[in-house]
Copies of this chain bind each other. A is one copy, B any other.
Amino acid sequence: MVHNFNAGPSILPKEVFQAASEAILNYNNMGLSILEIGHRTDAFQAVMDEARSLVKELMQLNDQKEVLFLHGGASTQFFQVPMNLLAADRKAAYLDGGTWGVKAIKDAKLYGTVEVVASSKDKNYSYIPDGYTIPNDAAYFHYTTNNTVEGTQMHSIPETNVPLVADMSSDILSTQMDFNRFSLIYAGAQKNIGAAGVNLVIVDPSILGKADRALPTMMDYREHIKNGSMLNTPPVFAVYVCMLTLRWLKQQGGVAAIQQINEKKAQLLYDTIDQNSIYTAPVAKKDRSRMNAVFTIQDTEVEKEFLTAAKAEGFYGVKGHRSVGGFRISMYNALPYESVVTLTEFMKEFATKKG
C-alpha cells in the first residue's frame, strides 16, 4: 500500500484515475480516445464547459468572474499578471512570503514599480508577515496564499481597497473563503485541481485593459475570455482530469466538507510533531500550512534513517523541497485521512524507538 504525500504533481482521487484511464481507451463510447478528439468538438466543449462551471459553483463565484484554463503553469502568471495589470508608470504591492513570491516579484519588476510591503526572508520565510500597510495607490496587491516549499499559509484575507491578486496554487479549493474578494486568482492544477499541465485563472474583467501596453495574443486575458478559454488548442486531457477532480470534490460535499477533513488531517499531523520532541516544526504556529507540513529531525543520521524507514513503509514524497531539506508532508484534498493516521502511527513508533 502506497501513501502519496508528494507536493505536486500529487495524489488525485482513485475515481479520477479510473475514469481517466478508461477515457484514454474509449471516451464516452465514441470509439475514440480522449487524447485524439478535436478540441472544437461537442465532446470536448462539454468537458471545458463543465470544468469552468464547476469552478464557479464550488468557489461560489459571482457572475462577474471569468474562469479560464490556461497553459504555462503558475510560473507563467508571474509575468502575465503584471504584463496585463501593471502600467509602466505605476506600482504594484507584493508580499515577500516565500519561494514563489520571490519569483513573482522578480518578473513583475520588468513591467513597472514593485513595492514589497513586507518580507519574512529574515527567518527563512518560516512565518507570514503581518502589520504591514498596502499603499492605496498600488495597481494591485499580490500574495501567495500557501507556501508549498516553506509550509506556511495565510489564514485570512488582507484588508485593503486595492485589487487583490493571489497565487493559490497549493491551497485553492481546500478552505472556504470569499473568493469574490479577489480580482485575479491563479493556480497550477497539479495539487488540488487536477494533473500537471494546466493552470486555472479566475479574473474579474473590470481590472483588464488599464495597463497601456501592447500584449502578445496568448498573454492577453481578454483574448482568452473572448474565446471561451479556447484561444488555441487547450491541454485537452489536463482539462478533462480537472473536470473529473472537480466533480469528485462536489460529490464529497464541496469546499466546506473537504475543509473539515483537511483540518482534521493537519491537526493530527501537527499534534504528532508537537508531542514527539524528536520532530521540530520550524514554522510559526499561527502560520502553519494545512496543505504542506514541514518538520526536521536534528540528528542528520536519524533523519536518513527516518527517510529509509518511511520509504520501506510505502510513504511516498515525504522528503522536503531540495532547497530546504528535512521533511514535507503534503495533505491535499485527495489525500485520505487514513494516510495521515498511518503516517502518524509510524512517526510515533519511530520517535519512541529513537527517544
* CB-based nearest B residue for A18: B25
Question: Is A195 in the interface zone, CB < 8 Å from B?
Answer: yes
When the two chains form the complex, which single residue of B35, B190, B218 contacts A233, counting CB atoms closer than 8 Å? B190
A312 within 8 A of B: no
Can you tell how many copies of this chain the complex includes?
2
Whether B72 lies near A218 (C-beta < 8 A) is yes
A262 within 8 A of partner (CB): no
A195 to B234, CA, bound (A): 11
Instruction: Point out the residues of chain B lying under 8 angstroms from A195, CB to CB.
Output: 35, 236-237
Contact with B along A78-112 (1 / 0, CB 8 A): 11000100000000000000000001001100100
Interface residues of A in 271-326 (CB under 8 A from B): 314, 316-317, 322
Residues of chain B contacted by A123 (CB below 8 angstroms): none
Q: Are B2 and A32 in contact (CB under 8 A)?
A: yes
For residue A78, give the distance in angstroms from its CB to the closest CB of chain B: 7
Contact in complex: B236, A237 (CB < 8 Å): no
Q: Which of B10, B11, B71, B110 contacts A73 (CB 8 A)?
A: B71
A93 vs B235: C-alpha distance in the bound complex, in angstroms? 31
Q: What 0/1 pattern do residues 10 to 38 of A give for CB contact below 8 A with B? A: 11100011101110110000111101111
A217 and B75 within 8 A (CB) = yes
State how many angstroms separate the Cβ of A169 from the closest Cβ of chain B.
Answer: 9
A291 smallest CB distance to B (angstroms):
15
CB of A4 closer than 8 Å to a CB of B: yes
A62 within 8 A of B: no
Most buried by B among A17, A21, A38, A72: A38
Is the CB of A347 closer than 8 A to any CB of chain B?
no
User: Are A233's CB and B110's CB within 8 A?
Assistant: no
Q: Does A241 contact B (CB under 8 A)?
A: yes
Residue in chain B with minimal CB distance to A24: B21
Residues of chain B within 8 A of A12, CB atoms compared: 33, 35-36
- B-chain residues with CB within 8 Å of residue A31 when the two chains form the complex: 1-2, 314
Which residues does A use to contact B, with CB under 8 Å? 1-2, 4, 6-12, 16-18, 20-22, 24-25, 30-33, 35-40, 71-76, 78-79, 83, 103, 106-107, 110, 188, 190, 195-198, 214, 216-219, 231-238, 241, 314, 316-317, 322
Instruction: List 9 A-B pairs, Cβ < 8 Å.
Output: A2-B30, A7-B38, A71-B72, A72-B76, A75-B232, A78-B218, A110-B214, A197-B197, A235-B238
* 8 closest Cβ pairs, A-B complex: A197-B235, A79-B216, A75-B232, A21-B24, A2-B31, A71-B72, A35-B195, A196-B236
